[in-house]
Amino acid sequence: MSERIYNFSPGPATLPPSVLQEAATDIVNFHDKGIGLIELSHRSKEFMAVAEETEGLIRELLQVPDNYKVLFLQGGASSQFYMVPMNLLGTGKKATYLNTGAWSKKAIKEAKLFGDIKVAYSSEESTYNRVPTDDDYSVATESEYLYFVTNNTIYGTQFADMPKSDTMLVADMSSDILSRPVDVSRFGIIFAGAQKNMGPAGVTVVILRDDLLDCNAETVPTMLRYKTHADKDSMFNTPPCFSIYCVGRVMNWLKEQGGVAAMEKINQRKAGILYDAIDGTDFYRGHAEKASRSLMNISFNLPTPELEARFISEAAAVGFDGLKGHRSIGGCRASIYNAFPEEGVQKLVDFMADFAEKNG
């Protein structure tokens, strides 16, 4: 493999090089079968074993209780914005949502098509620079669930602790799943697009408590019912085989790193290096309030948009790709998911110090 640069992309994001190499081999000839991985029938015993292994590893790494299903769905995390309320709500049913960014706002818009949606908190007026504490909102009575986004990819905010509400939690964990341990039993549904911490785009992992499968099962179109996919082990129709395979390889890599608890420590260390660099000078300014800071996406500004543009282009020239902030807030963003190497964070910090000295 030619030399890799540091990829700070928010997603699709950097993957472990060992996984890319394994996939490159298997895609051409899977386990010496003489058939490439993406040419195998999804009903072949080889692929069924791949899907089973992937599910097993997710269960093991996240300690998913037995009364939960792990589904591999398509349509992106965005399709869960409507699948969740379509399956769990209906006339007169209520849910509470926390609006902490563009992804929760989109989910709220979809949910309003299906139920009575109470938005209990919003940080929109401060450009989503924080997430709430439990004292900042109350869950509407008789809510079927409390919906929130654990990590806000664009703004670089993250719930350090999950809400303590007794209401069933539903979470979009697209940008921090498997970055730290979570108590799955507190959630009715957890979903995440794969393309940040799990693998390539194309598969959305949905972890769902099995008593929720029968909700609205008769009124929801077949492909959009969780039960359809759960009853057929995600093989009701052709699943995204390659993505499922890659997620399995990434899970295997994560296990080799020591699992999610070990990964959380690494993530804390990596983000700490970057936040220390930001806090150590007036030149850089973090977007998120300190208590809401994300370990995955670090959004920051320089004194002027011109300096930000120069920073991004000079960084790209020396091999730091993907540092441009999301178009909705501008500035810079370093996405440092599980697979992003610590040495790359250190090198970025060195570059930042150098840039500040020359331009400050």
Q: What residue ranges bind ligand PLP (CB under 6 A)?
A: 11, 76-78, 103, 149, 153, 172, 174-175, 193
Of 23 and 205, the one with the shorter C-beta distance to ligand PLP is 205
Question: What residue number has its CB nearest to ligand PLP?
Answer: 76
Catalytic one of 26, 69, 176, 196: 196
Phi-psi region of 62 (alpha: psi -120 to 50; beta: other; left: phi over 0): alpha
- Note if 103 is an active site residue: yes
Smallest distance, Å, CB 65 to ligand PLP?
Answer: 24
Catalytic residue among 26, 69, 93, 103: 103
Identity of the residue, 156 or 283, whose beta carbon is nearer to ligand PLP in the bound complex: 156
Residues 6+ apart with CB under 8 A from 73: 79, 80, 83, 203, 204, 205, 206, 229, 234
- Which CB atom, from 103 or from 351, has the smaller least distance to ligand PLP? 103
Q: Write down the least CB distance from residue 20 to ligand PLP, Å.
A: 20
- Compute the distance between CA of residue 275 and CA of residue 271 in angstroms, rounded to an integer: 6
- Please state, in angstroms and rounded to a whole number, the distance separating the CA atoms of residues 129 and 288: 4
Nearer to ligand PLP, 55 or 172 (CB): 172
Active site residue 172: yes
Catalytic one of 26, 69, 93, 172: 172
**Rounded Cα–Cα distance for residues 171 and 184 (Å):** 10
358 is catalytic: no
358 by Cβ neighbours in 10 Å (0-12 / 13-18 / 19+) ranks as: exposed
Rounded to a whole number of angstroms, the minimum distance from the CB of residue 131 to ligand PLP is 12
Cβ–Cβ under 8 Å, residues 176 and 49: no
Secondary structure element (H or E) that encloses residue 116, with its range:
strand 116-122
Shortest spacing between CB 106 and ligand PLP, in angstroms:
8
Residues taking part in catalysis: 103, 172, 196
